[in-house]
Amino acid sequence: MRLLNINSVAFLLLSFVEYIYATPIVGGKVIYNPGNAAPKYPYMISIQELYKPINSRGVEEFRHFCGGAMLNHWWFVTAAHCFLRKKLARISAVIGHENLSSANQNNSRYAIERVKFIYYQPTNIQNDIALARLKKSYEPELNLIKHAFGILPLPDMKNLSGVSCQIVGYGATQYAGELQNNLIEGEVKIITKQECSDILGRILAPPHDETTLCALGDNQDTCQGDSGGPLICKVNDVPYICGIVSHGLTCGVTGVPSIYTAIVPYLEWITWIINDKVENS
Ligand SMILES: *[C@@H]1O[C@H](CO)[C@@H](O)[C@H](O)[C@H]1NC(C)=O
Ligand SMILES: *[C@@H]1O[C@H](CO)[C@@H](O)[C@H](O)[C@H]1NC(C)=O
Ligand SMILES: *[C@@H]1O[C@H](CO)[C@@H](O)[C@H](O)[C@H]1NC(C)=O
């Protein structure tokens, strides 16, 4: 493992300050399920922004910018920074597609009604988590699809150090690369906060608390466009959504970890919101 010293990391940070929010999957493999096989990650969302209201063929054009994960028929979880400087009315979610090229054909675009944050701090990227509610409910064929919704971790799943997890996204396959149309998966391993700050340095490493996870891939990493997507960790063979892609300094630089928002500390808030307790109380 190559350790960057703090000066070179600080340099990376300054040069790519524009991209600090754009964490990026490199080195992963394209998910390809020929035929009518159920999608491998049916809860995976591509959050897209309308960028051309009407193109030359008379259809609207959308641009993928972040990932997310459906948690029930109405709500998905993503990163808070994904909604910075975005107009909600221009944003929609495409759910469970392995190939975004076909996303427009099947009327599979869901408008977003509202977004909830919990003390998100853009300056230091704390609490980089958001929940978004669709305008119409998403009704997957539950009898055909296993794990149609992402599974929340259990409250006691606080120490995930050493656990291998999947990262999934439509993001760039190299730093500043083109976004993919195909869903890509990769594998990373969660490291301790001490290991994380040994590599990133005290200033750039996330605080030694439970709100973030630090994960390192063997040449596999998240990249811009993957933000908001799930970090899926199998515990006792159950694929839990343990984290949300939050930020990194660059993509796939050997030995440099990326930072994920941990789900466990936010469980009560998430459960409260996605069960629509707030609206009903
Ligand atoms: C994705 O869909 C497009 C358009 O339908 C197709 O050309 C492309 O081959 C597909 N990619 C994969 C990996 O299936
Ligand atoms: C779109 O719908 C058709 C017909 O139901 C189906 O065969 C096709 O696989 C769907 N495409 C996607 C990307 O879901
Ligand atoms: C977390 O788990 C790892 C691997 O099982 C173990 O080595 C470490 O001591 C644990 N840390 C804490 C704080 O329990």
Q: Could you report the per-residue pLDDT of 72-109, keeping only the tens digit for each?
A: 999 999 999 999 889 999 999 999 988 887 776 656 78
Is position 128 annotated as part of the catalytic site? yes
Q: Which domains does the chain have, with CATH numbers?
A: 39-147 (2.40.10.10), 164-264 (2.40.10.10)
State pTM to two decimals. 0.84
The arithmetic mean of pLDDT across residues 204-211, rounded, is 85
As a whole number of angstroms, the distance between CA 180 and CA 178 comes to: 6
Rounded distance, CA 212 to CA 126, Å?
9
Which is catalytic among the residues 97, 128, 246, 247? 128
Mean pLDDT of 1-28: 40
Ligand 3: centre distance to CA 93 (Å): 37
Ligand sitting nearest the alpha carbon of 103: 2
* Tens of pLDDT, residues 145-175: 888 999 999 999 999 999 999 999 887 666 6
Q: Catalytic residue among 64, 81, 97, 247, which?
A: 81
Give DSSP secondary structure letters for 87-113: -GGGEEEEES-SBGGGTTTTT-EEEEE
What are the two backbone dihedrals, phi and then psi, of residue 279, each rounded to the nearest 5 degrees? -70, -35
